[in-house]
Structure 1
C-alpha cells in the first residue's frame, strides 16, 4: 500500500550513519499531500469504527502474527538505517508487538460503555460513560527508537478506533514506512487511508500539526515539542508530548551494588545512550561510593562500540548529537568533574565509547541538560535525602530508578517522575499495562495502559430518565415545599460527619 496519491517531485535520502550506505529515497510530502490523506483517512475510519472492538482486535492480532513471521526484514532495515546492533532492533520490535497485542486485547475492557452511579440528586436517571474514537490522529516519531515508537503510536491509536497518519523522522523513514505497509500486507481488506505514512523534513511535520487531525502524538526533543504544541494550538488540536529526560537513579546504602552497577551501565549505554529514558545521572550515598564506582568502572570498560550485528552499542545517529556529547563532557571536566571511564578521547565519530563522569557540579550541562549519548554522571550524596533532592533538581521528570533492599518504595514515592523502577531500570517502559509519560519538560499525556488507550478517545456522558420522581427540580415553577424538602435532605446528607 503506497502512501503516494500523486507524484512528489522533491525527495530526500536516508543513509546508514556509520557507513553512508543508501537505505532509501523518500518523498517530501506537502500540506496538500497531507490534506488528501486526511480526507481518505476520515472515510476509512468509519469502516474501522464500525468493526467494533472485536473486529479491530482480530485485525491487529493478524498484523502481530505477520510481523513476527517477517521479523528478519525489520531487523535488517533497522540495522541498515540506524547502525544499531540487531539485538537493539529486536528489543524495540518485541516491545512494539507487546503494545499492539495488549492494546487490542484490552481496548474493549477499557473503552466500552459503562454504567455509573447517578448520585442522589439524579437518582431517577441512568448514567453511562463511553469513550469514542477521536477520528484521525497524527503520530510523529523520532529517530532514536523508530521501530518501537512507530508501533506504539499505531497500537493505541488504532485499538481506540482511529485512523492514523504516521510521520517518521527523516533519519529513520524506512522503518516507519515498513510499519504502515506491513499492516496492509496482514490486512489486505483494509481501506486505503486507514493507516498511512508521510515523509519529509520539519516543514512536513509542521504541516501535519496544522492539518486538522483530531490529535497529534509527538515523541522527540523538548524544543521541537514546543514548536509542535504551538503549531497545533492554531487549530486547538490536542497534543500528547513524550519529550526528553534526564533520568536519575538513587543508590542507597543497602543497595545490591552488583545489580546496581550492571543495570546502570546497561541503562546508560544501551542504544548508544540515545534514549529519552536512559540513565543519565546517578546519586550514590557516600558510604558505598567507592565500592560502587569500582563495580561501574569494571562493567563500563567492557562495553565497546562497533558496527557488527551483535556489537554492544552502535554509532551515534546524528552528527550534531556527538557535538552535544563533546560539549557536556568538556564542561563537566572544566568544572571539576573527573572521568572514571573514557573521556574526550572516547569521542570518535561516528562512535562515542562509554564515558563515566564522577562528581560533576550540579549546575553543569552534563547534569542539567539531556546528553543523549553513552555518558553517565555519578555524583556522591551525603545520604538518601540529599540524593532525592538532587535527583529532583532538573526541569525533567520522565523516568527514575532506585536501588535499595529495604526502602525502595519509600524512596520511589519521593522521586518526581512519570515512572520509577525499584532495583532495576526502565522496566516500566516495557510493560504495556502501565502508563508511560513524563512531567515538567518531559511532556504530558500517556502512552500505554488504560490511560494510553483513553488518550486517543473523547469521553462522552449519556443520561436517560428512567422514571418521574413527582417533584422535578428541573422545571418551573419551583415551590416552597420542594425547597424545604431539599433543604432537609441537604442537611442530613451532607451536614453529618463522613466516614
Structure 2
C-alpha cells in the first residue's frame, strides 16, 4: 500500500485516506496496536545501519551519532507501545458524597488524524516522539518530514507499511514549507510541530484558520550552570558534548555556560582542551559534520561577529573558523548579555562562557532568556538551583538526561513552545479526555429534578455547612 505522497499530490487526499485508516486503527485493542508497533520497532532495529546511512547522507550527521539517535528513538517507541493501554485506557475514579450513587470512569480517546511536521536535525528521534505516541494512542498520522531529510521519513513510512499493510495509518508526504502549510489547513485533528520558533509562529497562524490545536516543540537557548561545588571535569565534558554534538544543531544544545568564579579558570582550560580535539569535517575521524541548512551559516557568523564587536573574546575557533558549511568548535568569553550569541538561538557548534560571582547571578541570567527549554546544573545543590529556573526540564550533574528517560515528558515553555512528547503526557497529548458516569442506584437525595422537595433543599444546606463550612 502506498505510504508516500509525492510533491504536488493533494494533501487533502492523504488526510481523507488517513480518516479511513484512523477508524480501523482506533478500533484495534491497545495490545493489537502494540504488537504492530513492536514489529515496526524490530524492523528499525534490524535495519538501523541502513537508516543511519540515510541520515548521514541527507543531513551530514556522523554515522555513530545517527545510530545513537536511532537507539534513543526506539526506547521511546517501546515505552509508548507498552504503556498506552495503562495510561489511556478506561479506569474507575471516585465519586463525591453527593454523587455516591454514580459509578465514574475516565478514558483518553484518540483525536483521529494527527499531522506531524518534523525537523531535519534529529530526523528519527524527534518526529517519532510525536508519531509513535500518536499511533500508540490510536490515531492515524500524516507525516511531513523536513525537505532536508525526506528520505528518512519515506524509509519510516515504508517500514511501517510492512507491518501494517491493511490501511495507511502512517502516511508520509514530502515537500517544502508550502506542503506543511497545506497540512495545517487540511482539517487534521492536531498538528505536532518541531522546528524554529519563527516557523512555529507561522504554523500556529495557519492552524488558527481551522482552529486546529497544535503541539509546539520550538527553539532553545539552553544554559549549563557550574557551581563551585560541582564536578568540573564532568561539567566540562557535558558542556563540550552539549554544545558541539550534531554540530550544535540541537534545540537542547548548550549555548550559554555560567561558571562560579572559584572554578572558572579551571573549567575554561579543561573545556578548551576538550573542544580543541573535536573537528568538523566529512572524514571518518571527524566527530561532527556540516551545518545542514546553508542559511544557518550566516546566522552563526553574524552572532560571532556581533559578540566580538561588543567586547567578547574568542578563545577557540571564531568567525575565521568557518569554511563553507563547516564550522569548527568555537568558544567565546566576556560576551555581553545583550549580544546575539546570548539572546538568540545560534544553532551551531559554539558556546559562550561567563564568570559569575554567585548562583543568584547565574540564575538571573539564565531566566532572562525568552526561551525556556532545557537546563543542566552541576552542583551539590543542583536540585535547589534547578528549582529556581524556568524551563521545561532540568538535569542535575549530567547533560539533559531527562530527554532520554522514556517516563519523562519533553517540551518547553515561553518561546520554546508548549505541549509535551514522551511519557504519559506525550500519550495524552494526542487524545481527548472522556468522562463517563453510570447510575448504580437511585439517589437518596435527588438533586437534578423539579420533584425536589423543600426537605431535600434543607438537607442540602446542612450538607454544605457540614462538608465545606468548617474551612
Q: What's the TM-score once normalised by structure 2's chain length?
A: 0.98
- Following superposition of structure 1 onto structure 2, how do residues 227-376 of structure 1 map, counting pairs within 5 Å? 227-376=202-351
Aligned to 1:190: 166
CA RMSD of aligned residues (A): 1.2
Matched, 1:106 2:80: no
Deviation, 1:50, is 1.7
Deviation, 1:88, is 1.4
Aligned to 2:429: 455
- SS of the residue aligned with 1:291? helix
Query: Which residue of 472, 483, 489 maps to 2:463?
Result: 489
**Structure 2 vs 1, CA of residues 310 and 68 (structure 1 numbering), >3 Å: closer, same or farther?**
farther
Aligned to 2:32: 55
Query: Which residue of 137, 143, 147 maps to 1:166?
Result: 143
Aligned to 1:130: 107
Give unmatched runs, 5+ long, in structure 1: 6-26
Q: What's the TM-score once normalised by structure 1's chain length?
A: 0.93
Deviation, 1:310, is 4.9
**Structure 2 vs 1, CA of residues 310 and 183 (structure 1 numbering), >3 Å: closer, same or farther?**
farther
Aligned to 1:39: 16
Deviation, 1:201, is 0.9
Aligned to 1:2: 2
Deviations 1:52-72 (A, max 9, x none): 100000001111111111112
For the Cα contact (< 8 Å) 1:138–1:166, is it kept in 2? yes
- SS of the residue aligned with 1:74? helix
Aligned to 2:416: 442
Deviations 1:97-152 (A, max 9, x none): 11110100000110000111111221111111110010010000011111212322
Query: Which residue of 56, 59, 63 maps to 1:86?
Result: 63
Equivalent-residue separation in structure 1 for 2:448 and 2:465 (angstroms): 21
For the Cα contact (< 8 Å) 1:316–1:352, is it kept in 2? yes
Query: Which residue of 88, 113, 117 maps to 2:94?
Result: 117
For the Cα contact (< 8 Å) 2:80–2:427, is it kept in 1? yes
Matched, 1:97 2:71: no
Aligned to 1:418: 392
For the Cα contact (< 8 Å) 1:137–1:214, is it kept in 2? yes
Equivalent-residue separation in structure 1 for 2:42 and 2:374 (angstroms): 31
Deviations 1:23-49 (A, max 9, x none): xxxx3235xx21111111111112211
Aligned to 1:18: none
**Structure 2 vs 1, CA of residues 423 and 59 (structure 1 numbering), >3 Å: closer, same or farther?**
same
Deviations 1:170-225 (A, max 9, x none): 1110001111111112x15331x211010111111000000000000000000110
Give unmatched runs, 5+ long, in structure 2: none
Aligned to 1:29: 8
For the Cα contact (< 8 Å) 1:286–1:382, is it kept in 2? yes
- SS of the residue aligned with 1:224? helix
**Structure 2 vs 1, CA of residues 240 and 323 (structure 1 numbering), >3 Å: closer, same or farther?**
same
Deviation, 1:4, is 5.3
- SS of the residue aligned with 1:131? strand
Equivalent-residue separation in structure 1 for 2:32 and 2:120 (angstroms): 32
Aligned length: 471
